[in-house]
Structure 1
Amino acid sequence: MIDLEERVNRVFNPDVRPLVSEAYRCYVSGSARGAIVLTWTAVCADLIAKAQILHEEGESHAKDLVADVERAQGSAESEAIPIMLALEKTLLDTAEKLELIDFIQRKQLERIRDDRHLCAHPSIRPLGELYEPTTEYARAHLAAALEAVLIHPPSQGRKIVDSFLKHVVDPGFVYDTGYLTHTFFDRVRPSARFKVVEAAAKFAVLSIEDPAIKIKPEKFADRMAKCLRSFADRDADLVKKAVAKQMARLETAEPAVQLQALGRLGDLPAFWAALAEPVRNLLNAKIERIGSRLQFSGITTAEAKSLALVALPELRTTLPTLSEAFTKLGAVSRAQVIGQRPHPHFTSFLPQLLKDVSSYDSGQEVAERAVLPCAGFLSLSELEQVLKEWNDNPQCWGRAMPGYLVELYTLTSHLGDERKSLWTPILDDVRGDERLFNLIASGIAGTETSAA
């Protein structure tokens, strides 16, 4: 059952909240008539306030309503009351045009309005009996008013979706799940909420190129995938429904789009719940093909993101070719995969990666993309093996690699002072190179001083 008191405290407009609280107190005390009258009063005040906000934002449909309110406020009481009574008759129609409510919610609010009239004029029944509403009826009206309008901001169906798209496409976009869900999910009407989630699913799954979106489709789709995960934390079933609507188009999409969707959403349960078995088999075959290439051929970012799903045990079951495809790749490509999703699963592969390094360039790339991002997951024994292979391979000493050794020491602070001795063989080996020795030794000492 709906928790009325909790929803009363969530009423959006602080000026309307006292009216709603009074309606709730009337209901609790058994005064159904008072509760219904105050509920309708609160609805009117709330819709008028929201229309005024939308008018300030340039909404043309709110112009006449706001003009009537201002005319009433500037008139004598004898003139103001008829103006507001006339406005009240068309208020719900205007609210529907403004997309503050939909037609079903308008019907619910019309019932509240009609019952308010019966409560305020209880003797208008044909035989003169007084209208006596029940407390259950009063509760139902208050719950309907809260859900339809009172707890929501002045967000319109199409406009909230437009605002969401503008937020995500903005060059300064920062992914903040708290702000995202508060603004575009928690405080949005259910009907508009699905439109927001549906928009996120459409772009995340299909990487649609839209002239109005001024960033690359893949980048926009990646942002939308993050939003979709946040929404799934609030309502997994709603996200599942939105993703399922896109699957027919994904099945006939270009192969590149299909692979991008896998890499982008492969860790989202809603994606697999909506994916047909033939498409799943197709994706598994695509993974196998990536691994069957020549060992040292490069891979694309989309391929790397897809193969990075090997870190997740449930995906290794869903896509059996993941593990084999990953192990067949060359060192740089494996590092590229690991860099897409640093994870404890990859720590056992790091020593072999360093052993396979065949040039200064590839050594630096393996360190940047794989070793350093996974450093925080290493155990003491794994770190020992990593340092041994690093030290033994001459190709792991070029470019920025000596500095990365110091950075690795910092990133493995979770292993405590025990790890310090693991750097001793390296320092002994480079003692003859004063510059290199001082670089590593002073870097480690500086790290310890900063930590202290």
Structure 2
Amino acid sequence: MLDLEDRVNRVFNPDVRPLVQEAYRCYVSGSARGAIVLTWTAVCADLIAKARILHEEGEGEAADLVSQVEKAQSSEESEAIPIMLTLEKTLLVITEKLELIDFTQRKQLERIRDDRHLCAHPSIRPLGELYEPTMEYARAHLVAALEAVLIHPPSQGRKIVQSFLTHVVDPGFVFDTEYLTYTFFDRVRPSSRFRVVEAAAKFAVLAIDDDAIKIPPEEFANRMAKCLRSFARRDVDLVKRAVAKQMGRLEKAEPAVHLSALGRLGDLPAFWASLPAPVSKLLNVKIEAIGNAQGSWDLTLSTDEAKALALVAHPELCETLPALTEAFDRLSASQKAQVIEQHPGSYFTSYLPGLLKAATSYDGGEAIAKKAVLPCAGYLNRSELEQVLKEWNDNSQCWGRAMPRYLIDLYGLTSHLGPTRKALWNPILEDLRLDEAAGGFFDLISSGIEAFDGVHGS
């Protein structure tokens, strides 16, 4: 059952919260009449306060309402009360225009207002019987008021979506799932919430090139994909609905758009829940074609291709896209490193020794270490790390440029294996100590490891 007290404590406006708490106390003490009257009082106070905020933010349609309130506040009581009574009659219509509430919520709040009048004037019934509201009515009205307006900030439908887009497109955007969901999901009215999620789905699925978006479409789409994942943790069905609305356009889009969407959203269940079967088959054919290209060291995968093939790390997706496993296995070592870079994880650790062994140039060895080995280092077990170090040491093409420093980085990134892992570097250090051609590699690596241990107490 809905935790009513928790909702009461989440009322957005601290000045209105005492009114809502008093309405709640009336309800729990058995005073339905008092609860309903105070609920409507709180709604009025809350909507007026939110209209003021919108007016201060430049919302022109709030000006008349605010001026009427200010006129009442500066008038004598005999004049102020009629002003406020007149305002109360049109308050819900005005705030619906301001998008503080929608049509359905206006109807719910009108019922509260009507019952408030019956509670405040119980003898106005045609036959003179006193109106006796039930406790169920009192609770229903309080819940409706909380869900419609009281727990939400003064956000308008179109304004909250614009605020969301502005936040995500900002050049200084930093993805923080807690802030994102709190600001644009948890504290947003349900009707506006879907608009926010729908906007995220539209850009994440289709990577639309919009002149109003001042960053590259792919970057914006990637940010929106992250937002969708955060929203899905709150309400997976809502995200499924929003993504499903984009599938008609995706189905008609160019194949490149399909592959791009797959790379961004392929690990999101909502994507597969609504993906048309013909598009799914097309994606499998596209992946098969990537594998059939059988790349060499000279052939570089596109980012979209690499992201799509990185889905091989999800066994359940390999059933939906059976071409994934074979396509990945047919890639060259450098191409595999490109794929691993997109989604480092435990699935790829068994491939790392083979990639280092396959390096045929300094550039190739350095790329494999940077794109695959170091990103996956935190997932290595001791046996895998030992094999990685062996292949690294045995292949002369893994000793160019930044590679000695990468060995130090690898030591730091495998600290989850404990201080005993240090012994695994001994064969490398011993070979370097005896190899005059190795120059200062021995001193560089050994001192780097000692420095790490000194700082981290290993």
Band the TM-score falls in, shorter-chain normalisation: over 0.9
- Aligned with residue 383 of structure 1, among 374, 382, 385: 385
Report the Cα offset of residue 434 of structure 1. Answer: 4.5
Structure 2: distance between partners of 1:31 and 1:67 = 35
In structure 2, give the amino acid aligned to 1:139.
Answer: R
In structure 2, give the amino acid aligned to 1:438.
Answer: D
- Residue of structure 1 in register with 2:66 after alignment: 66
- Residue of structure 2 in register with 1:206 after alignment: 206
1:372 alignment partner, SS class: helix
Please give the per-residue CA displacement for 1:85-104, whole angstroms capped at 9, x wherever unaligned. 11111100111010011111
- Aligned with residue 401 of structure 1, among 383, 403, 409: 403
- Residue of structure 1 in register with 2:324 after alignment: 322
Structure 2: distance between partners of 1:137 and 1:426 = 78
Report the Cα offset of residue 435 of structure 1. Answer: 1.1
1:374 alignment partner, SS class: helix
Structure 2: distance between partners of 1:323 and 1:441 = 39
Superposition pairs for residues 215-294 of structure 1, below 5 Å?
Answer: 215-294=215-294
Superposition pairs for residues 296-307 of structure 1, below 5 Å?
Answer: 296=296, 297-307=299-309
- Residue of structure 1 in register with 2:447 after alignment: 442
- Residue of structure 1 in register with 2:168 after alignment: 168
In structure 2, give the amino acid aligned to 1:218.
Answer: E
Please give the per-residue CA displacement for 1:354-398, whole angstroms capped at 9, x wherever unaligned. 011111111111100000000111111111111111111111111
Structure 2: distance between partners of 1:308 and 1:24 = 53
- Aligned with residue 414 of structure 1, among 402, 413, 416: 416
Structure 1: distance between partners of 2:126 and 2:387 = 92
Q: Does 1:121 align with 2:126?
A: no
Structure 1: distance between partners of 2:262 and 2:272 = 10
Report the Cα offset of residue 319 of structure 1. Answer: 1.2
Please give the per-residue CA displacement for 1:243-285, whole angstroms capped at 9, x wherever unaligned. 1111111111111110010010001010111112221111111
Superposition pairs for residues 332-351 of structure 1, below 5 Å?
Answer: 332-351=334-353
Structure 1: distance between partners of 2:127 and 2:408 = 92
Please give the per-residue CA displacement for 1:79-134, whole angstroms capped at 9, x wherever unaligned. 11111111111100111010011111111111111111111111112222211111
Structure 1: distance between partners of 2:383 and 2:294 = 32
Structure 1: distance between partners of 2:243 and 2:20 = 37
In structure 2, give the amino acid aligned to 1:123.
Answer: S
Structure 1: distance between partners of 2:295 and 2:149 = 60
Structure 1: distance between partners of 2:163 and 2:123 = 48
Report the Cα offset of residue 230 of structure 1. Answer: 0.3
- Residue of structure 2 in register with 1:14 after alignment: 14
Report the Cα offset of residue 69 of structure 1. Answer: 0.7
- Residue of structure 2 in register with 1:187 after alignment: 187
Structure 1: distance between partners of 2:120 and 2:101 = 25
| Larger mean Cα displacement after TM superposition, 436-445 or 235-244 | 436-445
Count of aligned residue pairs for this structure pair: 452
In structure 2, give the amino acid aligned to 1:292.
Answer: N
- Residue of structure 1 in register with 2:40 after alignment: 40
Over aligned residue pairs, what C-alpha RMSD do you find?
1.0
Structure 2: distance between partners of 1:268 and 1:71 = 54
In structure 1, give the amino acid aligned to 2:390.
Answer: K
Report the Cα offset of residue 47 of structure 1. Answer: 0.3
In structure 1, give the amino acid aligned to 2:443.
Answer: N
Structure 1: distance between partners of 2:368 and 2:221 = 27
In structure 2, give the amino acid aligned to 1:293.
Answer: A
Structure 1: distance between partners of 2:153 and 2:225 = 25
Structure 1: distance between partners of 2:202 and 2:141 = 36
- Residue of structure 2 in register with 1:427 after alignment: 429
Taking structure 2 as the reference length, the TM-score comes to: 0.97
In structure 1, give the amino acid aligned to 2:401.
Answer: R
1:15 alignment partner, SS class: coil
Please give the per-residue CA displacement for 1:300-345, whole angstroms capped at 9, x wherever unaligned. 0000000011111111222111111111111111101000000101
| Larger mean Cα displacement after TM superposition, 25-34 or 413-422 | 413-422
1:208 alignment partner, SS class: coil
Q: Does 1:178 align with 2:178?
A: yes
Structure 2: distance between partners of 1:331 and 1:121 = 82
| Larger mean Cα displacement after TM superposition, 246-255 or 186-195 | 246-255
Superposition pairs for residues 346-385 of structure 1, below 5 Å?
Answer: 346-385=348-387
Structure 1: distance between partners of 2:126 and 2:318 = 73
Structure 1: distance between partners of 2:119 and 2:190 = 30
Structure 1: distance between partners of 2:166 and 2:361 = 45
Taking structure 1 as the reference length, the TM-score comes to: 0.98
Structure 2: distance between partners of 1:228 and 1:154 = 23
Q: Does 1:101 align with 2:101?
A: yes
- Residue of structure 1 in register with 2:88 after alignment: 88
